[in-house]
Amino acid sequence: MRDRAAPGARAADLRAILGRLEDPLELLAEDVLGLESRIDAVARDRRGGAVVVLRPAVGAGLEAVADALAQARWLEPRLPDWLKLAPDLGLRPERGARGLVLSNEISPRMRAAAAATQGRVELQRMEAPTAAWAAPAASLPPRALGPAGEPVRLRSVFRTALQDGDLDLRT
Residue 156 contacts other proteins per CB under 8 A: yes
Stretch that binds other proteins, among 46-54, 90-98, 111-119, 147-155 (CB under 8 A): 147-155
SS3 assignment for 96-148: CEEEEEEECCCCHHHHHHHHHCCCCEEEEECCCCCHHHHCCCCCCCCCCECCC
The residue from 94, 127, 150, 166 that contacts other proteins (CB under 8 A) is 166
Residue 7 contacts other proteins per CB under 8 A: yes
Contact between 83 and 94 (Cβ < 8 Å): no
Question: Pairing relation of β-strands 26-33 and 97-103?
Answer: unpaired
Stretch that binds other proteins, among 50-58, 65-73, 114-122, 157-165 (CB under 8 A): 157-165
Q: Which of residues 81-100 bind other proteins (CB under 8 A)?
A: 81-82, 84-85
Q: How far is CA 43 from the centre of its chain?
A: 10
Closest CB to other proteins among residues 128, 140: 140
Closest CB to other proteins among residues 128, 158: 158
The 8-class DSSP code of residue 52 comes to E
